[in-house]
Amino acid sequence: MESQTFTKDERLSSRKLIEQVAKEGKSFLVHPFKVIVLETTIESNHPAQVMMSAAKKRFPRAVDRNRIKRLMREAYRKNKHTLYTALTEQNKKLAIMLIYVGAGLPEYKLAEDKIILILQRLSKYETPAQ
């Protein structure tokens, strides 16, 4: 059985790398989520690092932002194994930013379905030719 843990090493935590992803990463939209992804060479025990975010402008209350981030994290944690196996086969490492751009608080079921969709697309992710 696949591990469902979500340790610190699996999170995008380097300030420098975050700025790099935001600046150079490729983005696509799976409503209500926006995904920014960049292939990296960072040393890690896991094939991907991910961060979740919700805009303060859209959700002024901290309670709402926490709620959204927790739902996203939970959905990712439960379904990440498909992405991991795919990336390991391709011997790639990704830095991923997930940003919630919908209006209002999401339902967990919906969020989970969309996250699965995103993970499938990320599994087939190809670095575009320069």
Partner RNA sequence: CCGACAAACUGUUCUAUCGUUCUUUUUUGUAUAAUGCAGAGAGGGAAGGAAAGUCCGGGCAACACAGGGCACCAUACUCUUCGAAAGCGGAGGUAUUAAGUUGAAAGACUUGAUAACAGAAAGUGCCGCAGAAAAUAACCACCAUACAGCAAUGUGUGGAACGGGUGAAAAUGUGAGGUAAGAGCUCACAAUGUUCAGCAGUAAUGCCGAAUAUGGGAAAACCUUAUGGGUUGUAAGACCAAAUAAACCCCGAUUUUGAAGCUGCCCGCUUCAAUGUUCUGCAAAGAACUAUCGGGAAGGGUAGGUUGCAUAGAUAAAUGAUAGGGCUAGACAGAACCCGGCUUAUAGGUUUGUUAUUUUA
Q: Which residues bind RNA (CB under 7 A)?
A: 3-9, 11-16, 18, 45, 51, 53, 61-63, 66-67, 69-71, 73-74, 77-78, 108-109
The pair phi, psi for residue 128, each rounded to 5°, is -65, 145
Instruction: Name the burial class of residue 50, with classes exposed (0-12), middle (13-18) and buried (19+) by CB atoms within 10 angstroms of its CB.
Output: buried
Our CB check for RNA shows the closer of 14 and 123 to be 14
For residues 130 and 125, give the distance between their C-alpha atoms in angstroms, rounded to a whole number: 15
Our CB check for RNA shows the closer of 116 and 129 to be 116
Our CB check for RNA shows the closer of 21 and 118 to be 21
Cβ at position 87, least distance to RNA in Å: 18
CB atoms near residue 130 (< 10 Å): 3
